[in-house]
A and B are shown apart, each in its own frame.
Chain A
């Protein structure tokens, strides 16, 4: 995983939330490289596979309460509880971020899979040896923390 892949994903994340949710997230601490083993996640976890010129995935995770505010802003409707709109909107936001990042990595011919979103407490993801993940801690100053996590290698 090359470090130059990180910025396009950060820029795409900021641009997407600014454009579609009216909020501007910022970086919140140092990047973390996870070579192998379990990676903790917040309640809401969305993952989207990347293929074509690369193999890998992008993951976005945040607390349920933060997710409700984010998707509520996206939809311009309050999300009072975990429901179909929350799960669908969360996946669509991730899809838009991945598409915007892929466009910034022009020439890598990145194809996007369909997003999958899961909700639950104490979730953990497992990184396999050879597929390291870069964890990018971010936060919405108004709402709270979230992570963008990327694992990507040229195919």
Chain B
């Protein structure tokens, strides 16, 4: 199982990585913004089980990244969990409409992230 973490905060990526490793997921690729994330997804031949993606990021934000993933036939079905401080209902709905598989609002507890991941993995 390989996971892509896209978040401009290196400390948030460390926190998320720790949760994933606690679930036994150790093959993790990180990116600091959407553009870098899309490049790495391509570099790895789209071989990811799911993507964890922030919204508020420089260069390419999470909504643009999600739309790019959904508009590419190679990544159309790649599960994307949005993990973000953006918590306004309209913005959450916009992400769901754009194809987000799941949505987790920061601040979160490790169990919240684990539950979202398990839901995506069908556990």
**A76 engages B85 (CB within 8 Å):** no
From the candidates A16, A92, A103, name the one contacting B9 in the complex (CB within 8 A): A92
**A96 engages B106 (CB within 8 Å):** yes
Least Cβ distance of A31 to chain B in Å? 24
Q: Does A126 contact B (CB under 8 A)?
A: no
Which residues 40-60 of B sit at the A interface, judged by CB distance below 8 A? 56-58
**A88 engages B88 (CB within 8 Å):** no
From the candidates B9, B18, B89, B105, name the one contacting A95 in the complex (CB within 8 A): B9
Which residues 1-33 of A sit at the B interface, judged by CB distance below 8 A? 15-16, 19-20
Least Cβ distance of B72 to chain A in Å? 26
User: Residues of A contacting B88 with CB < 8 Å?
Assistant: 102-103, 106, 109-110
**B56 engages A112 (CB within 8 Å):** yes
Which residues 99-126 of A sit at the B interface, judged by CB distance below 8 A? 99-100, 102-103, 106, 109-110, 112, 114
**B9 engages A89 (CB within 8 Å):** yes
Decide: A96 near B107, CB < 8 A? Known: A71-B11, A88-B11. yes
Q: Does B77 contact A (CB under 8 A)?
A: no
User: Residues of B contacting A15 with CB < 8 Å?
Assistant: 107
Decide: A96 near B58, CB < 8 A? Known: A20-B107, A109-B90. no
**A114 engages B89 (CB within 8 Å):** no
Q: Does B115 contact A (CB under 8 A)?
A: no
Docked pose: A68 CA to B57 CA in angstroms: 24
**B87 engages A100 (CB within 8 Å):** yes
**A112 engages B109 (CB within 8 Å):** no
Main secondary structure of the interface of A (DSSP, over half): helix
Main secondary structure of the interface of B (DSSP, over half): loop
User: Residues of A contacting B8 with CB < 8 Å?
Assistant: 114
Docked pose: A143 CA to B90 CA in angstroms: 37
Q: Does B15 contact A (CB under 8 A)?
A: yes
**A89 engages B11 (CB within 8 Å):** yes
Give the interface centre of B14, B18, B109 by most chain A CB atoms within 10 Å. B14
Q: Does A129 contact B (CB under 8 A)?
A: no
A-B contact sample (20 more), CB < 8 A, given A19-B109, A89-B11, A99-B105: A16-B107, A71-B11, A75-B14, A84-B10, A85-B11, A88-B9, A92-B12, A95-B85, A95-B106, A96-B85, A96-B106, A99-B56, A100-B85, A103-B105, A106-B88, A109-B90, A112-B85, A112-B86, A114-B56, A114-B58
Cross-chain pairs A/B with CB under 8 angstroms, 7 sampled: A71-B11, A75-B11, A91-B9, A92-B9, A109-B88, A109-B90, A114-B57
